[in-house]
Amino acid sequence: MGAVTADEMREIEEVAFRGGATPAGLMETAGRRLGLATTRFFPIPGTAVANLGKGHKIGSAH
């Protein structure tokens, strides 16, 4: 999947919510998939650091 605009992402989320997805479930899936993708580029444990801002745009991750 490529990049999407903010409007496209809102539509994707709305469709997912209508299908029964929850915000927490989407964030769980996003986190899991980001972790899997990251290990492809940084396969050695401890070689990558994530610095994510606070707020709802990043799921309040730290």
- How many domains in the chain? 1
Query: Radius of gyration of the chain from Cα atoms?
Result: 14
Mean pLDDT over 19-47 rounds to 89
Q: Containing domain of residue 12, as a range?
A: 6-58
Cα distance from N-terminal residue to C-terminal residue, the chain: 25
The Cβ-side half-sphere exposure at 5, using a 13 Å CA radius, reads 3
In a domain, 19, yes or no: yes
Quote the pTM value: 0.63
> How many other β-carbons are positioned within 10 Å of the β-carbon of residue 27?
14
Confidence band for 21, pLDDT divided at 50, 70 and 90: very high
Average pLDDT score over residue span 37-59: 77
Residue 1 lies in a domain: no
